[in-house]
């Protein structure tokens, strides 16, 4: 009697009490007292959130492909009385309702959309199930698609497509890399060629400027040398004897060489020899005027001798030069022609020494 009177209901449970087969009340969690033999606790309803996983079900998509979809339902009993008396087996009812709703939703999608639209399918299932199970005292909290399995042939085709897509992207990336590499290489070659061309142009310009300056300096040097020689010749007042002596000096050079068996003497040399033998004749081209002629400005006519410590302003090393100048002045005076030698000393009767010819107009030294 005591055991049938006192009933203990666990936490998060609800007991449905019937009296003579009719609903009497709901026992909450804890200690409860019922009338023995009259009241009877018929059902204990679990009020916690429950998870039910349904086995895979075949579903036909819009493009006539059969896929297997298994779902997971998260629900909770909110009204124990409705869950007991409004539906005989609410779990089976939820399963069937889930399958029919899933076929309805997936039937309007193709395979690609089905595989990529899990969120929209879950949202549609939850809305339909929550509306249908509300009168059963059940609230559907969440619906999840645990797996979508297409046929094996479709899997193979999808794998091939995925592999082809990845190969395509790999080829595209490789081609883009090669394109960028070729562009960068071409730009580098272009910059290198431009820099090389600029360097060649600048080097050619500098080389041309250097050649031009060298040619100018060389020409200036040659011009100055020619002017110096020309001025020295005119300042030295060359006469017939000097030219004849120069011809005689050139004759051994003409005969140089082991292969020179026969050589021709120019006619000018014979004329020079005639001038050596007689001071009466004159070689054409020797000017009568023995005064120095200055064609270009070569500086002061008198030599600038360095100053020494002597009283007369000349050093001991320049005495020979002074003597040569004095002898040249004596030889240039008219009526005082003196014989000279090839060594340049007066008074000797050498082969080049010439005496007084008696011609007052002849240059000095003839």
For residue range 258-317, list pLDDT tens digits in order. Answer: 665 665 666 655 665 565 555 434 444 444 554 444 444 544 444 444 444 444 444 544
Q: Which of 247, 342, 329 is nearest to 292 (CA)?
A: 329
Contact (CB, 8 A) for 42 and 23: no
Q: In terms of Cα–Cα distance, which of 336, 324, 344, 323 is closest to 362?
A: 336
Using the Cα atoms of residue 132, residue 138, residue 139 and residue 140 in order, give the sign of their dihedral: negative
Judge residue 154's burial from the number of C-beta atoms within 10 Å of its C-beta, 0-12 exposed, 13-18 middle, 19 or more buried. Answer: middle
- As a whole number of angstroms, the distance between CA 198 and CA 210 comes to 18
Beta-carbon contacts of residue 344 (< 8 Å; ≥ 6 apart): 324, 327
Q: Above 60 in pLDDT, residue 359?
A: no
Q: CA-CA distance, 237 to 113, in Å (whole number)?
A: 120
**Distance separating the N- and C-terminal Cα atoms of the chain:** 183
> Does position 201 have pLDDT exceeding 50, yes or no?
yes
- What are the structural domain ranges in the chain? 1-46, 49-150, 155-234
Tokens 């645990």 correspond to 146
User: Across the chain, what does the average pLDDT equal?
Assistant: 76
Q: Binning pLDDT at 50, 70 and 90, where does residue 357 land?
A: very low
Q: Are 78 and 137 a contacting pair, CB within 8 Å?
A: yes
Q: With contact defined as beta carbons under 8 Å apart, do 352 and 245 qualify? A: yes
What pLDDT, on the 0 to 100 scale, is given for residue 39? 86
Model confidence at 342: pLDDT above 70: no
State pTM to two decimals. 0.45
Give the pLDDT mean for 343-362.
40
Q: Which residue has the tokens 């050498």?
A: 350
Residue 328 vs residue 127, higher pLDDT: 127
pLDDT of residue 173: 93
Separation between Cα atoms, residue 292 and residue 322, nearest integer Å: 19
Of the listed ranges 148-152, 212-216, 286-290, the least confidently predicted one is 286-290
CATH of domain 49-150: 3.30.479.30
The closest alpha carbon to 4, from 33, 29, 25, belongs to 33
The region of weakest confidence among 115-129, 209-223, 325-339 is: 325-339
Angle between helices 118-133 and 90-106 (to 10 degrees): 140
Q: What are the pLDDT digits (tens) for 72-96?
A: 999 999 999 998 888 888 889 998 9
pLDDT greater than 80 at residue 251: no
Read off the tokens for 272: 């020079």
**Dmax of the chain from CA atoms?**
193
| Alpha helices by DSSP H, the chain | 2-5, 80-85, 90-106, 111-116, 118-133, 152-236, 240-254, 267-277, 319-332
Examine the pLDDT at 234 and tell me if it is beyond 80.
no
Tokens 């000393």 sit on residue: 345
Token digits of residue 156: 């193979």
Q: Tell me the pLDDT tens digit for each residue of 152-192.
A: 888 888 888 889 999 999 999 999 999 999 999 999 999 99
Cβ-based neighbours of 340, under 8 Å, separated by 6 or more: 331, 346, 348, 350, 352, 353, 354, 365
Please state whether 81 falls in left (phi above 0), alpha (psi between -120 and 50) or beta. Answer: alpha
Helix (H, G, I), strand (E, B) or coil at 24: strand
2-16, 173-187, 217-231, 314-328, range with greatest mean pLDDT: 173-187
CA distance 162 to 148: 17
CA distance linking residue 61 with residue 67, whole number of Å: 7
Mean pLDDT confidence for 321-336? 63
Q: Read off the pLDDT of residues 97-116 as tens digits, 9 standing for 90 and up.
A: 988 888 888 888 888 888 88
Q: Phi first, then psi: give them for residue 320, nearest 5 degrees.
A: -65, -35
- Please determine, for residue 33, whether its predicted confidence score (pLDDT) is greater than 90: no
Using DSSP, state whether 279 is helix, strand or coil.
coil
């Amino acid at each position: 009697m005591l055991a049938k009177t006192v009933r203990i209901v666990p936490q998060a449970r609800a007991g449905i009490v019937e009296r003579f087969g009719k609903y009497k009340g709901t026992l909450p969690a804890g200690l409860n007292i019922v009338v023995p033999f009259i009241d009877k606790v018929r059902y204990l309803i679990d009020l916690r959130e429950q998870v039910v996983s349904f086995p895979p079900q075949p579903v036909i998509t819009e493009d006539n492909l059969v896929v297997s979809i298994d779902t997971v339902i998260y629900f909770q009993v909110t009204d124990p009385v409705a869950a007991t008396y409004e539906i005989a087996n609410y779990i089976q009812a939820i399963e069937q309702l889930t399958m029919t709703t899933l076929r309805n939703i997936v039937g309007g999608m193709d395979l690609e959309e089905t595989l990529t639209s899990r969120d929209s399918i879950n949202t549609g299932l939850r809305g339909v199930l929550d509306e249908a199970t509300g009168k059963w005292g059940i609230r559907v909290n969440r619906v999840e698609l645990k797996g979508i399995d297409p046929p094996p042939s479709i899997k193979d085709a999808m794998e091939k497509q995925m592999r082809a897509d990845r190969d395509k992207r790999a080829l595209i990336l490789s081609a883009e890399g090669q394109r960028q590499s070729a562009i960068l290489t071409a730009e580098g070659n272009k910059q290198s060629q431009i820099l090389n061309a600029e360097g060649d142009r600048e080097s050619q310009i500098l080389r041309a400027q250097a050649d031009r300056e060298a040619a100018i300096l060389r020409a200036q040097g040659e011009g100055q040398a020619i002017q110096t020689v020309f001025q020295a010749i005119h300042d030295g007042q060359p006469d017939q004897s000097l030219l004849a002596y120069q011809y005689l000096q050139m004759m051994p050079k003409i005969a140089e060489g082991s292969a020179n068996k026969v050589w021709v003497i120019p006619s000018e040399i014979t004329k020079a020899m005639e001038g050596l033998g007689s001071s009466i004749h004159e070689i054409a081209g020797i000017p009568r005027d023995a005064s120095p002629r200055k064609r270009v400005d070569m500086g002061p006519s008198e030599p600038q001798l360095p100053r020494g410590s002597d009283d007369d302003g000349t050093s001991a090393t320049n005495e020979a030069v002074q003597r040569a100048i004095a002898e040249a002045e004596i030889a240039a005076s008219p009526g005082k022609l003196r014989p000279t030698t090839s060594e340049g000393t007066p008074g000797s009767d050498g082969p080049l020494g010439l005496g007084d010819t008696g011609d007052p107009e002849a240059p000095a030294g003839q």
